[in-house]
Amino acid sequence: MVAPGSPTVGVLALQGDFEAHRGLLEEIGATVREVRVPADLDGLDGLVLPGGESTTMTLGIEREGLAEPLRDLIGSGMPTLGTCAGLIVLDRGHLGLLDVTAARNAFGRQVRSFEARLDLAGVGDGVEAIFIRAPWATEPGPEVEVLAEVDGHAVAVRERDVLAVSFHPELNGEPRLHRWLLDRIAERGGAAAAARPTTTAGGSP
């Protein structure tokens, strides 16, 4: 069902935990479209690249001809959230949309699944972050802001309206990163601009 005035967010649904992102986005008022082929990108206001397995996801992106349309859209400023494998897929060795190099499984392959409380500048404090065979981001370029670190390693980075994190906010219903995405859409004058007054007290009409 399409709520009037609600932003439409595409969730890449080739592989990985896209369902959990869908649920969280719908809870905070977005209309969600699963993206599997280039035509699914038409008319979107924002994008989420979920966690999963970055090699499988990258092969799927190539197979479906999604790489160029994703580069065009995100490169031209579409607000985007990447989580875990999504961070890897965005990095300079893959889609080249985030000026970092992701180190895969950087905390160790199997055992290093853990939780941490993080303060993410501009997103929220005390974020309960679940890490599962997570990457971290290395060699951030000059436009990249590191928002949070674990043991001195960047686990949340932002470049303009692309936010990428090593953890899984969708698994514990942490809504503030997805809200950040809707806020960026609203700032760009996307459909969320119409939706904001119902969700934010004191918003201008």
Which residues belong to the active site? 84, 168, 170
Does the footprint of ligand GLN cover residue 21 (CB under 6 A)? Answer: no
Cβ 104 to ligand GLN shortest distance, Å:
4
**Cα separations (Å) of 25 from 48, 177, 188?**
10, 10, 18
C-alpha count within 13 angstroms, C-beta hemisphere, residue 177? 35
Taking the complex as a whole, the smallest distance from the CB of residue 198 to ligand GLN amounts, in Å, to 33
Pairing type for strands 80-83 and 101-103 reads unpaired
- Decide if residue 104 touches ligand GLN (CB under 6 A): yes
Choose one: 19-27, 51-59, 122-130, 157-165; the region binding ligand GLN (CB under 6 A): 51-59
Number of amino acids touching ligand GLN (CB under 6 A): 11
Query: In the window 132-151, what residues touch ligand GLN (CB under 6 A)?
Result: 132-133
Which residue bears the tokens 């935990």? 17
Q: Is the CB of residue 41 less than 8 Å from the CB of residue 10?
A: yes
User: Is 19 a binder of ligand GLN (CB under 6 A)?
Assistant: no
Over the range 134-150, which residues count as b (16 or more CB within 10 Å of their CB) and which as e?
Answer: bbbbeebeeebeebbeb
Does residue 54 bind ligand GLN (CB under 6 A)?
yes
Interface pick for ligand GLN out of 84, 90, 155, 163 (rule CB under 6 A): 84
- Alpha helices by DSSP H, the chain: 18-27, 54-63, 67-75, 85-90, 176-187, 192-199
Residue from 44, 61, 85, 181 in contact with ligand GLN (CB under 6 A): 85
Q: Which residues bind ligand GLN (CB under 6 A)?
A: 51-54, 84-85, 88, 104-105, 132-133
